[in-house]
Structure 1
Amino acid sequence: MDRDQLSAIGMTYLSGLGAIPATSYYEKPVADYILAQCADMGVETKVDRYGNILAIRPGQDDSADGIAFVAHMDHPGYEATSAEDDGVHGNGLGGLPPQAYESGVAVTFVKQDGERIPGVIMGRAGAREGNNLIFEVSQDRIGPLPCAVVLDLPDFDYDEQSQLIRMRAADDLAGCASILAVLRSAVEEPTPGAVYGLFTRAEEVGLVGARLAAADGLLPEGTAVVSVETSSVLPGAEIGGGPVVRTGDAMTTFGFEAEEYLAAATASIGKLAVQRQLMKAGTCEGTAFARNGYPTTGLAYPLGAWHNNGSDGTIRAEFIHHGDFTTGIALLAGAAALAGTNPSSAAGARIAARPEAEERRLLDSIG
């Protein structure tokens, strides 16, 4: 599959996922979409007891270590929990900015059948501190509670002139769409090792699904893990500069073993605009796997308006660059094509080789 086809497929998946509002603990509609796409491409899936989805494209050698690409299905939002005389009560889920809790913020209630009902934040619930809220909404329309509530922002909008993709939840639907595109490509390209796509739940409230998947050994031991995320822009991780090989996050520095897949893929494809940075704005799912002994790296799309926090202090749609997104898919597909080969980049091989001539000179120069 060529890069243009990969890019088009990735954008199709991203727009499809963007049309499905979800937040932590309310990921089922996103999960249903992912399961349907995997079934359509003939990729086996397993759903663990927590609702994490593991997509599996088997390798040709059972003894070869595979590679797994991990993304989460949720985005920060709210939860409506009870209908009271003064309005519908609820709370925040995940790290939305302070302005997302102010009176007058427009929101959308997502009924259990998927129907959307407009609402607005009236204010805090009583004198309680924290993220407890009262919503104004037509209570006779919202149906059974609890239900998800999301910010009233665009599902998906792509501006060809600026090359920006604006979405309520680029974090982390961009990662999910990328992995679906990689799986689609991997179906056509057998490799010694297996290629996995892991789609997790409740990342925004503490990496919950990823931590449980890692602790339970959902992925085989020795699998190289690539966390596929969006992350807030930083110096050296700029929008439009290419996807970022993520050497770590706010909590963990990742290892070179898994990063060699991305380095080797970059070298083999050529002419890819790629950045490399420790993305310290937040903690990603790579930390959960690294801390459970998996060789881990990450790939991040530089993200504007992270968690819908506009640079002007208003609530905004998140945005990523089309070129970053499509280049990232190409890079990940290149890494998937190396599954089970234990690749080494030219630089890595050079450092690993014993410097015999220089060694002799050191020995000969001892005074």
Structure 2
Amino acid sequence: MSIEWAMADTLTSILKKLLNQPTAPFHEYHVRAQIEQLLLDVPHVELSTDAFGNLLATYRKGKRKSSPVWVLGAHMDHPAWVKSPGKNGDWEFLGGVPKSIVDLPENIALRRENGEIAPWGFPVTIEEGKVGAAACDDLIGCAVIIATIKELARLGLDATVHAAFTRAEEVGFLGAWHLGKHWPFGKEAAFLSVETSRPVNGAEMGDGPSFVWATAFRCLTMT
């Protein structure tokens, strides 16, 4: 089995586990717990959280360091309804979706309550190389990073690679802002955002997670 096929098989398994986790800005605990579970027993991986609740991971084996030292980043939240303590527990929508769209009856009917959050109720589908889910942005990015770290460990490569799974991106990049202000990775580190969004600035449909994943992995292993 080639590296690409082995990685694809791992990615599919991770996607199934991660995309079924409900999430919302400031309510990323289900996703964070699943990421921690997926990385818990991976050799040479250290996990921690910063003061804002961003989940940080480091794969470190041997003394070899790439130049620069890479920090792979993706956010754990997605626009969703949350119960607002200041509004008698009423539902409030957080994220960059216009209110005129959120308030449409057919869209409100898609709300799936899960404790204090209510994400969109789209089913998770993975077939014929296409992924469909409510929170592709950016749980697919999180899955790509997890799969990359697992592959580094499977191959036993000497490398130091960091990852940052950030919070509250959908309401102003708050987790990323905190990470940048309290940067823990050193001046030599370079941040690589693993993003899953609509095509802009020359990005094309079809050059998606598999393309980004393979490119990021080769970058990490060849520098």
Taking structure 2 as the reference length, the TM-score comes to 0.88
What's 1:157 paired with? 125
Question: Partner amino acid for 2:7?
Answer: L
Alignment counterpart, residue 201 of structure 1, candidates 142, 152, 167: 167
Paired position in structure 1 for 2:101: 99
Distance in 2, Cα, partners of 1:62 & 1:159: 38
Structure 1 partner of 2:35: 34
- Distance in 1, matches of 2:173 and 2:72, equals 15
Deviation per CA, 1:216-260, whole angstroms, max 9, x where unpaired?
0122221121001112124732212x2xxxxxxxxxxxxxxxxxx
Other-structure match for 1:326: 210
- 1:83 positional shift: 11
Q: Which runs of 5+ in 1 are unaligned?
A: 112-146, 243-323, 342-367
Q: CA 1:185–1:99 in 2, change beyond 3 Å: closer, same or farther?
A: same
Structure 2 matches for 1:140-179, cutoff 5 A? 147-154=116-123, 156-160=124-128, 163-179=129-145
Runs of 4+ in 1 over 6 A off after TM superposition: none
Mapped partners of 2:32, 2:102: distance in 1: 26
Does 1:52 pair with 2:20? no
The question of 1:213 aligning with 2:216 is answered no
- Sequence identity, in percent? 27
Residue of structure 1 in register with 2:91 after alignment: 90
CA contact (8 A) 2:65 2:160 kept: no
| Other structure's SS at 1:108 match | coil
Which structure features the higher share of helix residues? 2
The AA in structure 2 aligned to 1:165 is V
- CA–CA distance in 2 between the matches of 1:82 and 1:55? 32
Q: Distance in 1 between matches of 2:162 and 2:90?
A: 40
1:25 equivalenced with 2:26 (yes/no):
yes
Kindly provide the amino acid, as one letter, of the partner of residue 46 in structure 1.
Answer: S
SS at match of 1:329: helix
Higher-RCO chain (CA-CA 8 Å, sequence separation at least 6) = 2
Structure 1 residue 60: deviation in Å?
A: 3.0
Q: 1:12/1:89 Cα in 2 relative to 1: closer, same or farther (>3 Å)?
A: same
> 1:73 aligned to 2:76?
yes
Question: How big is each residue's C-alpha offset from its partner over 1:156-186, in whole Å with a ceiling of 9 and x where there is no partner?
Answer: 10232xx421110100001000000110111
- Tell me the amino acid that sits aligned with residue 56 of structure 1: T
Q: Which amino acid aligns with 2:102?
A: A
Post-superposition shift, 1:333? 1.3
What is the root-mean-square deviation of aligned Cα atoms in Å? 2.2
CA contact (8 A) 2:125 2:131 kept: yes
Q: How many aligned positions are there?
A: 216
Code of the residue aligned with 1:34 in structure 2: it is I
Does structure 1 retain, via aligned residues, the 8 Å contact 2:196–2:209?
no
Q: Is the 8 A contact 2:25 2:78 kept in 1?
A: yes
Q: For 1:239, which of 205, 214, 222 is the aligned residue?
A: 205
- Alpha-carbon distance in structure 1 between the residues aligned to 2:174 and 2:201: 29
Deviations 1:28-72 (A, max 9, x none): 110001111111213211111211111111253377642110000
**Alpha-carbon distance in structure 1 between the residues aligned to 2:104 and 2:173:** 26
State which drifts further: 98-107 or 24-33.
98-107
The answer to whether residue 161 in structure 2 is matched with residue 190 in structure 1 is: no
Structure 1 CA distance for aligned equivalents of residues 65 and 142 of structure 2: 28
Cα distance between partner residues in 2 of 1:199 and 1:234 = 23
The letter of the residue matching 1:109 is E
| TM-score, length-scaled by structure 1 | 0.55
Is residue 229 of structure 1 aligned with residue 195 of structure 2? yes
Shift of 1:103: 3.5
Judge conservation of contact 1:18–1:167 (CA < 8 Å) in 2: yes
Q: Aligned partner of 1:186: which letter?
A: L
Inter-CA distance 102–51: structure 2 relative to 1 (3 Å threshold) = same
Q: Which has the larger radius of gyration?
A: 1
Question: How far did 1:90 drift?
Answer: 2.4
What letter is aligned with 2:157?
A: P
Structure holding more strand per residue: 1
